[in-house]
Amino acid sequence: MATQSSRAAARLMVAPSVIVLFIWMIVPLAMTIWFSFRLYRLLSPERTGWVGFRNYSWFFNSPDFWLAISNTLLLVGGVLAITIVLGVLIALLIDLPVWGQGPLRILVISPFFVMPPVAASIWENLFMHPQNGMFASFAQGLGMKPILFMESYPMSSVIFIVSWEWLPFATLILLTALQSLSSEQLEAAEMDGASAISRFRYIVLPHMTRAITVVILIQTIFLLGIFGEIFTTTQGGPGSASTTLPYMIYKQAVIAKDIGRAAAGGIIAVILANIVAYFLMRSMGKNLDA
């Protein structure tokens, strides 16, 4: 049905999206590359000039940088592991014959709709606060000292909060996949004497592989950029203990006001994201063949 003219019309219809996305991608990127080789500090704007790779070497030589990289990977990896393992278990549980599956889904999905600063702020204050938080009350009730979550375990606390936000997403996707599994196959396996564990291992899990891949892909895109939760709770601290790469760039740009260094950090982040994206896209191409 595609005639010559409808092809032309089709291109015209796609053009606005492509053009704005192209500009959105290329202009800031080009500017970031430019700044990353310049001396550019907002606090001393009169001193400018080319500095070669000095901004980059500052990043690579900063002890905070490697900490930020490992924190970023820890955050992404930790949240993925928690949400997928718990997500599979909870999906299996909800998929059992239970009363009120509809309301159950609504309860479980709710944290996903809570905006990151709110999620971070209620966990930090209402639950994890060392004086007035609920966990502190419990600790006191048991005669223990309250835990200083944000001071002693900043990364774990952030990972915990972010996992709470993303667990619903993983659960719901895995549940959807689970519900498309035919019960005949399982019954046949059961009749042949397969145990619950081997039924899970050889029938349920392979069926969910695609959904698990999708959860990893989508969550990674969002998790690499996590900002609001850290901004609201630890501000990257104490010291740099919970500083991730996005937060380190933010600190360079907004607090240290060193545009050149922040730009170099940005380019490093782009390269890192591209390495991750390369692997994601390869499997995504296979999995998203709509």
Per CB under 8 A, which of residues 118..177 are in contact with other proteins? 118-119, 121-123, 125-127, 129, 131-132, 134, 136-137, 140-141, 164, 167-169, 172-173, 176-177
Q: What are phi and psi of 274, to 5 degrees?
A: -70, -35
Instruction: Enter the tokens of residue 13.
Output: 């219809």
Q: How far is the CB of 78 from other proteins (least distance, A)?
A: 18
Distances from the Cα of 5 to the Cαs of 9, 12, 201, 232, in angstroms?
Answer: 6, 11, 53, 53
Angle (nearest 5°) at CA 125 between 121 and 127: 110
Strand extents, DSSP E, 40-88: 49-50
Which is nearer to other proteins, 48 or 176 (by Cβ)? 176
The footprint of other proteins on residues 18-37 (CB under 8 A) is 18, 20-21, 24-25, 27-29, 31-32, 35
The footprint of other proteins on residues 72-91 (CB under 8 A) is 90
Q: Interface with other proteins includes 267 (CB under 8 A)?
A: yes
Encoded one letter per residue, x for contact with other proteins by CB under 8 A and - for no contact, window 211-240 reads x--x---x--x--xx-xx--xx--------
Helix (H, G, I), strand (E, B) or coil at 143: coil
Contact 150, 261 (CB under 8 A): no
168, with CB counted inside 10 A (0-12, 13-18, 19+), is buried
Q: Which of 254, 255, 256, 279 binds other proteins (CB under 8 A)?
A: 254
CA–CA distance, 130 with 125 (Å, rounded to integer): 9
Which is nearer to other proteins, 13 or 47 (by Cβ)? 13
Q: Interface with other proteins includes 112 (CB under 8 A)?
A: yes
Q: Interface with other proteins includes 43 (CB under 8 A)?
A: no
- Options 59-67, 74-82, 149-157, 179-187: segment touching other proteins (CB under 8 A): 179-187
- Within 10 Å of residue 86's Cβ, how many Cβ atoms? 14
Q: Interface with other proteins includes 196 (CB under 8 A)?
A: no
